[in-house]
Amino acid sequence: MKKFLLLITVIFVVITATTCAEKKDDTVTLLTHDSFWISEGVFEEFTQQTGVNVEVQMAGDTGQLLASAILTSSNPSADVIFGIDNTFLQRALNADIFAVYESPSLSKVSEEIQLDTQHRVTPIDFGDVCINYWIDSFSSDLPPPKNLDDLIDSKYSGQLVVQNPETSSPGLAFFLATIAEYGDDWELWWAALRDNDVTVTSGWEDAYEVEFVAGGGEHPLVVSYASSPPAEVIYAETPIDSPPTGVLTDTCFRQIEFAGVVNGTKNQEAAENLIDFMLSNTFQQDIPNSMLMFPASNEAELPATFAEFAEVVEDPYMLDPEIIERNRNNWTERWTQIVLR
Amino acid sequence: MNPQKRFVWAFLFFLPVLFVGVFFYWPLLKIFSHTLDGERINEFWSYLSSKPFRQIAWFTIWQAFLSTVCTMMLALPAAYLVARFSFPGKKLFQALTTIPFVLPTVVAAGAFMALFQRFGLDQGMFRLHHTVWALLLAHIFFNLAIVVRTVGSFWAGLDPRVEEQAKILGAAPWHIFRKITLPRLVPALAAAASVVFVFCLTSFGIVLLLGGPTRATIETEIWRQAVWRGDISVASVLAVIQLGAVMVMVLIMNFLQKRQAVVESKVELNPERASRKLLVGNILLLGILVGLPIVILVERAIGVGDGYSFQNFSAMADRISLVPLSSLAALKNSLLFAVVAAVLAALLGGVASFFVVHGNRWLSNFLDFGMMLPLGVSAVVLGFGMLISLDTPPLDLRSSWILVPIAHALLGIPFVMRTVIPTLRRIDPSLRESASLLGASPSKVTKYIDFPIAFRALGVGAAFAFAISIGEFGATSFLPRSPDRLTAPLVLFRLLGAPGEALRGQAMALAVTLMVITAATVILIEGSVFKRETIRSDF
């Protein structure tokens, strides 16, 4: 019995001891979403420059990341948060979770994507959510659709898969594209799309990996990213020369991902240095292959496959984050009524 | 009892209480008090009386009820087969039916999607994907084992001579089943049904992935409100309602399980050989329900291009960009977490079981009830609760890897207890009495009688906790984590979440590997290691 007690006590002491090791001063914590990844060695360069280690913490998808950040704002666990995009930006700003920091590297970033004039957040990368199509499903008899108007044409009946804007980030982005295009008439367009037999899924995985032709389904049109075609080449099972999918560049909504110094961090200086570093070429040039997004910095060079196959969208749809935050719950509720009920 | 002994007992008693208190009830209390704002009570009320919410609540209960009924009906033949007959490969049969129960949700959902595609059930007239039927099928697939195990072992303990006499007296088989067997099975049936009901009530991944966007349950609605609409308050209100429903079910469950513990005098009869008809029928039924999705999954994992190869498996060691670590590294993490979770669950669950069986009534009910609840709480809310409660030293665990095995242990403890408690209860009281009569002190009785018998049950419970931890996705995905500590199910989800054939293939390979590990654990549970006495689990 005594041995048993001793064993239990020892186990608990060991566990407590290993987990309660004090956080060191020379570490900066970066809180981000699950899709974050950067090549090995990139953060080591930051450590070499500044003597500070980067500890990455992940907190689920963007919505969950923001909810966690807001909940812990009185006692933040992180020094820098990366991954809040323009669809969630205003909610983050309203909750006051970021401190002002204007990085000198911002000169390399186009003003168009610097959405917060007070510089509480800094743009790090961007990408476009667009309709992807399976090239072989279309021909000269049935060319792929060009724009949003075409999608409600009966020629393309039953071909499109979209995600629920209430449960999916690309789904929300595409929904916002239609609002940017049609204004208050978006309801009519979606009603027509429903009549044109659109398929709705809960998330991207379900849409792309199950319903879309690439995943073995039968639908040749799907809401995905402008960077999905290069990914099809990079991650092909047997090497291919060109992607089997294409992008409808007139259907795109721009997503911009931001990083910000956490309000109340005890590591202000290191946090600011990390923001600067995230705009350096070392970090920026790693973004395309690691996260399938475009770097925010104009000076960063794109890797070959990415440059060749990723469509650069000229004039994507955008909406003011403030308008998005003010209306999104009403909009998505209406959307649910129109499309799902 | 001398003071020193008293202290030791108190210490032991407080271990599981402290663990569940600190890591479950405290976070839950904190998040509820943080978010349930009295000023918004009218707003909550109008939400709860709105039509969308009523639809969600109704659908939640309806699908859980239907899933439970279907599972019960389809599991009965297998339970009968296991209880009354011997046949070659019986252990394997039992193990195979148990695999789905410990299979990661993502994997099972993937298998079902693949199955529907293969048989053209994903579109057109006979579409199953994104329908209630898909949801039901998956719930049956997952919960069949619970019923087969619980009802099967109870059934085996019923005296078959009653039925035989009825048969001699000329009663028809159906009549015998309805009038004699069924009434005697009621406690086990009810206990199994209530467990299945709780699981279906709170199921998350299955509803989201297979049910499609039009089917929302309270659990998925909690997630949508908290994560997508940023309204954690409404999510908390829903979580409280769900918790209430689960508490009622757990109370019913505990009540029924106690009744079930009164077993008829055990008869040692050599079970008959199963008739071919019964055997083939059962194997066909379970083959379609359980076997087919598993076979499809394996086929997708080894299918490369037009042929078959193990390319996807050998690629598991490579780290690819997009996903922070290789599948192999994630598996190593999962194994480590599962071992820690299993040890924690076995120790704490074992101690708690002892007090449930030998403590006074109040103590026993308190522990039995309190340790079960983690199974029924929304993972989203618990995850956020841990985030805001475990945030000050010495318990600032927000960035610690230990949080994952701790959460897994919370889910594993009920399974350990469900295995150990019935075993302890079944220890023949005369054995303990004779020991005391012969002069053994209470601690000696515990040491030489309870421990050796409970130890084997503890092993089985630990193995279950291990398997659950390996496949756990829901709770893990709502805890903060560092990228090199991702578990295999999380990596699997990331692999499924990126375009490209190779990633898809690797996701399937990882899924199959997870399945093999959990299956091996289950076979170990059923198999040779614990041969000496079959350990019965009541869940």
Put simply, whether A237 touches B (Cβ < 8 Å) is yes
Q: State the Cα–Cα distance between residues A130 and A247, nearest whole angstrom.
A: 7
| CB contact at 8 A, A302 and A292 | no
Closest partner residue to A58 (CB to CB) among B391, B402, B481 is B481
Residue B532 has pLDDT above 50, yes or no: no
Compute CA distances B461 → A204, A240, B100, B423, B448, whole Å: 37, 49, 17, 11, 20
> Looking at chain B from residue 402 to 441, which residues have their Cβ under 8 Å from any Cβ of chain A?
402
Q: Give the minimum alpha-carbon distance from A301 to chain B in angstroms, rounded to a whole number.
A: 18
Whether A47 and A121 map to the same domain: the answer is yes
Q: Report CA B271 to chain centroid distance, whole Å.
A: 29
B-interface mutation test, from A19, A224, A285, A329, most B Cβ less than 10 A away: A19
Put simply, whether B454 touches A (Cβ < 8 Å) is no
- The secondary structure of residue B131, as a DSSP letter, is S
pLDDT at res. A341: 80
Whether A111 and A218 map to the same domain: the answer is no
Q: State the Cα–Cα distance between residues A47 and A18, nearest whole angstrom.
A: 24
Mean pLDDT of B322-347: 91
| CB contact at 8 A, A166 and A334 | no
pLDDT at res. B123: 65
Residues of B in contact with A55 (CB under 8 A): 399, 482
Put simply, whether B214 touches A (Cβ < 8 Å) is yes
Q: What are A90-122's pLDDT values in tens digits?
A: 999 999 999 999 999 999 999 999 999 999 999
> Looking at chain A from residue 290 to 319, which residues have their Cβ under 8 Å from any Cβ of chain B?
290-292
Q: Report CA A13 to chain centroid distance, whole Å.
A: 41
Residue B82 has pLDDT above 60, yes or no: yes
In a domain, A319, yes or no: yes
Whether A212 and A172 map to the same domain: the answer is yes
> Looking at chain B from residue 466 to 495, which residues have their Cβ under 8 Å from any Cβ of chain A?
477-478, 480-483, 486, 490, 493-494
Q: What are A19-56's pLDDT values in tens digits?
A: 544 455 689 999 999 889 898 899 999 999 999 999 99
Residue B169 has pLDDT above 80, yes or no: yes
Whether A70 and A189 map to the same domain: the answer is no
Residues of B in contact with A202 (CB under 8 A): 208-209, 212-213
In a domain, A61, yes or no: yes
Q: What are A235-245's pLDDT values in tens digits?
A: 887 888 899 99
User: In this predicted model, which residue has the larger pLDDT, B261 or B34?
Assistant: B34
The residue in chain A having the minimum alpha-carbon distance to the alpha carbon of residue B229 is A329
Q: What are A149-203's pLDDT values in tens digits?
A: 999 999 999 999 999 998 899 999 999 999 999 999 999 999 999 999 999 988 8
The ipTM of this complex is 0.84
| CB contact at 8 A, A221 and A132 | yes
Mean pLDDT of B57-66: 92
How many CB pairs lie under 8 A apart between chains A and B?
178
Q: Give the minimum alpha-carbon distance from B533 to chain A in angstroms, rounded to a whole number.
A: 25
pLDDT at res. B528: 46
The residue in chain B having the minimum alpha-carbon distance to the alpha carbon of residue A218 is B123
Task: Supply the range of the domain harboring residue A44.
Answer: 25-126+255-309
Whether A250 and A161 map to the same domain: the answer is yes
Cα separation of the two ends of chain A: 63
Closest partner residue to B122 (CB to CB) among A163, A200, A217 is A217
Domains and CATH numbers, chain B: 11-530 (1.10.3720.10)
The answer to which of B23-37, B245-259, B278-292 has the lowest mean pLDDT is B245-259
In a domain, A7, yes or no: no
Mean pLDDT of B49-59: 89
Q: What are A265-322's pLDDT values in tens digits?
A: 999 999 999 999 999 999 999 999 888 899 999 999 999 888 888 888 889 999 999 9
In a domain, A326, yes or no: yes
Whether A237 and A108 map to the same domain: the answer is no
CB contact under 8 A, B477 and A15: no
Q: What are B93-133's pLDDT values in tens digits?
A: 777 777 787 677 767 777 887 788 777 776 666 677 677 88
In a domain, A234, yes or no: yes
Q: What is the dihedral of CA B35, B40, B41, B45, to 10 degrees?
A: -100
Mean pLDDT of B20-33: 92
Closest partner residue to B501 (CB to CB) among A29, A235, A340 is A235
Task: Give the Cβ contact number of residue A111 at 10 Å.
Answer: 8
Residue B526 has pLDDT above 80, yes or no: no
The residue in chain A having the minimum alpha-carbon distance to the alpha carbon of residue B324 is A37
In a domain, A5, yes or no: no
User: In this predicted model, which residue has the larger pLDDT, B39 or A58?
Assistant: A58
The residue in chain B having the minimum alpha-carbon distance to the alpha carbon of residue A286 is B321
Mean pLDDT of B393-409: 87
CB contact under 8 A, A15 and B402: yes
In a domain, A16, yes or no: no
Per the structure block, which two tokens stand in for B261?
């513990």
Q: State the Cα–Cα distance between residues A259 and B398, nearest whole angstrom.
A: 21
> Which CATH number belongs to the domain containing residue A334 in this structure?
3.40.190.10
Q: What are A57-84's pLDDT values in tens digits?
A: 998 889 999 999 999 999 998 999 999 9
Q: State the Cα–Cα distance between residues B218 and B31, nearest whole angstrom.
A: 18
| Percent above pLDDT 90 for chain B | 14
Whether A197 and A328 map to the same domain: the answer is yes
pLDDT at res. A323: 96
Q: Please give the tally of structural domains in chain A.
A: 2
Whether A174 and A319 map to the same domain: the answer is yes
Mean pLDDT of B275-286: 81
Residues of A in contact with B228 (CB under 8 A): 63, 166-167
Whether A135 and A75 map to the same domain: the answer is no
Residue B373 has pLDDT above 70, yes or no: yes
The CA-CA-CA angle for residues B159, B162, B167, to 5°, reads 135
Whether A212 and A122 map to the same domain: the answer is no
Whether A189 and A295 map to the same domain: the answer is no
In a domain, A6, yes or no: no
Residue A138 has pLDDT above 90, yes or no: yes
Which residues of B341-469 form beta strands (DSSP E)? none
Mean pLDDT of A329-339: 93
Q: What are B123-151's pLDDT values in tens digits?
A: 666 677 677 888 898 899 989 888 888 78
Mean pLDDT of B461-482: 86
State the average pLDDT for chain B. 82
CB contact under 8 A, B500 and A232: yes
| Percent above pLDDT 70 for chain A | 93
The CA-CA-CA angle for residues B390, B396, B397, to 5°, reads 80
Residue A247 has pLDDT above 90, yes or no: yes
Q: State the Cα–Cα distance between residues B338 and B332, nearest whole angstrom.
A: 10
Which residues of B203-344 form beta strands (DSSP E)? 272-273, 303-304, 307-308
Q: State the Cα–Cα distance between residues B78 and B93, nearest whole angstrom.
A: 10
Whether A167 and A295 map to the same domain: the answer is no
Mean pLDDT of B146-168: 83
